[in-house]
Structure 1
Amino acid sequence: MTTTTPLRSDAAPAAPHWEWQYLDLMRRIWTQGDERVDRTGVGTRSILGATIRFDLSGGAMPLLTTKRVYWKTATREMLWFLAGGTNIRPLCAQGVEIWTDWPLDRYRRETGEAISRQDFSARIVADAQFAEEWGDLGPVYGKQWVDWATYEPAGEPGLFRRGPGINQVAQVVESLKASPGSRRHIIEGWNVAELDAMALPPCHKTYQFHVAEGRLSCLLYQRSCDLGLGFAFNMWSLALLTRMMAQQCNLEPGEAVWTGGDVHLYLNHAALVEEQLSRQPAGEARMAILRRPDSIFDYRIEDFEVSGYAPQAHIAAPVAV
């Protein structure tokens, strides 16, 4: 009797698809998460503290493959943040409705008019005065990123006037160039003094950049994450901002590191969770930046090209406002 010894392969086993980090986290929250009543009244299953890492080398981008992610929508939102946007009008004009529900909800409550989202958005785009009155979200992300409020003495004791706003994004670009080893490359959205004036306090609140061996990485701390719907946009936007900052600072992209505080799944997302957990991740998306603008604030949607993205079907689920 003879036996056959398998030939040894020196090839390293393939690394697991990055998306398993997400699916394993989803399964853990759905089966083990603490069930809680939340601000929206819908209810969630939640855990505190989770981390997902993604290597941006070679143009790779963290697009979920177990469902379709509309990366152009997320990119348009990021460009709106960088423009300091707080009014939904520019988003609605591009067909981006991810922020419309909050002002729409306020309009319906205060006027009693049962207007549809489609008609509300159309009116926002067509009527500048209406958009100014009903489309503003308060000092949300873009305002904090590029125009953080300051105040200076106005001459009399206890009297202050508005000072020049702080552009955190521009400051970080310059600090990355001048002092790459610094531990102060931070963009912060959590302005305690202005939280009550925001339609929604910042969820993805703190971005910290890190340079090592010519590569730029970024860690995002997200205080609250809707894993079923919001995470896909948050992870893409983190990677996108890191890629843009790297290009502006003459660095190679490193890692996108996402850290969630309260990470949750809504109880009315059972169909989404069950469908997504039944799917297998496959494939890899890559993104090319087609030009280098003069500054971090000059990118356009046409500057980004995604290839190799072949997701499974979109999974619809309700948004909790």
Structure 2
Amino acid sequence: MKPAAFDYVVPRTVREAVDALGSGPGARILAGGQSLLLEMRLQRARPELVIDINWVAELDHLSAGDGTLRVGALVRHAAFEPERAVPGPLGALFSRAVVNVAHPPIRSRGTLVGSLAWAHPAAEWCALALALDAVIEVHGTGGPREIAARDYFLGPFLTSRTPDELITAVRFPLLPDDTGVGFVEHRRTHFCFAQVAVAATLTASDGVITEARIGLVNCADRPVRAHAAERTLVGAEIAPPAGHRVPGDHPFARAGRAAAERDAAPRPEPYADVEYRRQAVAVLVGRTLCEAARDRLSRAGTSGGGHR
């Protein structure tokens, strides 16, 4: 099937892009195009105007400073594959998460910001933005504004960004050096969307968890911040269990059950009913927390810090 007819413009500045976006309700932004072009080919999306922002140089930037990572709208997924691309534990988390995004040709063209704009419930970056309290910078015909990630995702492919607004960048707080990170994803095949994925960070002092952040992928109609699971972890020892299994009485297992029963709201899928998906959430949260705990203890050992 071929796309429906559309007009095409190539702005060179954010102002030009925003003016074009505000020219009518049928305009859509093209950056990587990995989702939009497929929808157009299937004629599920029929934009009257496609605005190609790939020549807007000011959107192609990745910078870290003052405790913040700022990712421009044209930064490709592949930029985060090397752990050194982003300072500290955040770089490790991004490099572990990004390899789960589709496959190499997609990662070479698709963008992190484009993933946030599309807002698919199974998108890894959306859950990371929510878990890390990211801030999304948008620019519309009324000028620039900022949207906290917790206020941005409203449902499947639905956000609080208005149709005339362009996402110019997203800001993530850099993680402290005493933070461990983990990311685990489960899918039917390598080329499928995640049935469930979990991102986690653990910050600890003297072997005790002082802060936990957990983001759930494809566990509701939008990304989920697992607040109930996080609360069960504060004050618990960070020591992971020996071996690959997490005993039922371990704090990480209790957090997994809290995430499955109180945070997640999964919907049935053709190959996974709700009961199966809740069990997957519980197991994957436990595994991801183990990964984050081992990462934290490894960092403490590398830096010479002590732990119980």
TM-score (norm 2): 0.27
* Structure with more relative contact order (C-alpha pairs < 8 Å, separation 6 or more): 1
Q: Between Structure 1 and Structure 2, whose CA radius of gyration is higher?
A: 1
TM-score (norm 1): 0.26
